[in-house]
Amino acid sequence: RYTYLSYVGLFYILGCGYNHLKESKSRFVNIANAVIGVFMLFYFIQTYNRCAVWKNSDTLWTDVITKHPYSSLPFKSRGIYLASKQTIDVDKKQIVPEYERALADLNSAINLKPNDPEALSYRANIYALKNQLDSSFKDYSNALLIDSNRVSVYLNRGVTYSTIGKFKEAVNDFNQVLKREPNNKAAKRY
């Protein structure tokens, strides 16, 4: 997607060359038309096939994982997407978050790249939502050891501390947020 603009020049040159062939009534015009037709058909088919993969982030990252199973990024990205996704359980007549799948993907991402503070932070969020607070605090702390400037990690850990009544620790984390972002409304609210 970042090459669209730069390709304008290339396609302008190709268009001028094709126009020159047509105006000169060269015998290569028919060959050029056939080549252009084959390319267009090829790209139409490729585009149609890729549309199924680009249905949503789940299908996109699943496709990337099948092609690059030893890369942490697609696991992390799909895990982040699934952490915010909810499905409807028709039998139980309720909306169910995708935490288990998200947790499995984030675990895979962290196994492949243990020092990824973003993956640790998202996994900590899921642990907190599942009330697995020891694991949550461990991941938040590890994320901050790797990158101590992650405001969202301080904020989320502070919120988690405040929910269990550890207000001193929560205030320390909120102060770290305000030290880095003095106008952070969420930290001021707590």
Per-residue pLDDT tens over the stretch 11-23: 899 889 888 888 8
Residue 135 clears pLDDT 80, i.e. is over it: yes
pLDDT tens figures, 159-178: 999 999 999 999 999 999 99
**Rounded Cα–Cα distance for residues 170 and 18 (Å):** 68
Q: pLDDT band at 1, cuts 50/70/90?
A: low
Q: How high is the mean pLDDT of the chain?
A: 90
Residue ranges with strand state E in 42-146 = 86-89, 94-97
**Rounded Cα–Cα distance for residues 143 and 6 (Å):** 39
pLDDT tens figures, 74-102: 999 999 999 988 776 666 666 778 899 99
What pLDDT, on a 0 to 100 scale, did the predictor assign at position 3?
79
Q: Bridge-partner residues for 95, per DSSP?
A: 88
Q: What CA–CA distances, in Å, run from 188 to 137, 141, 157, 159, 170?
A: 21, 22, 15, 12, 12
**Rounded Cα–Cα distance for residues 180 and 15 (Å):** 53
Distance of CA 157 to the CA centre of its chain: 22
**Rounded Cα–Cα distance for residues 118 and 75 (Å):** 12
123 neighbors 156 (Cβ within 8 angstroms) = no
What pLDDT, on a 0 to 100 scale, did the predictor assign at position 137?
95
Whole-model pTM? 0.75
What pLDDT, on a 0 to 100 scale, did the predictor assign at position 94?
67
**Rounded Cα–Cα distance for residues 82 and 77 (Å):** 9
pLDDT tens figures, 48-64: 888 888 888 999 999 99
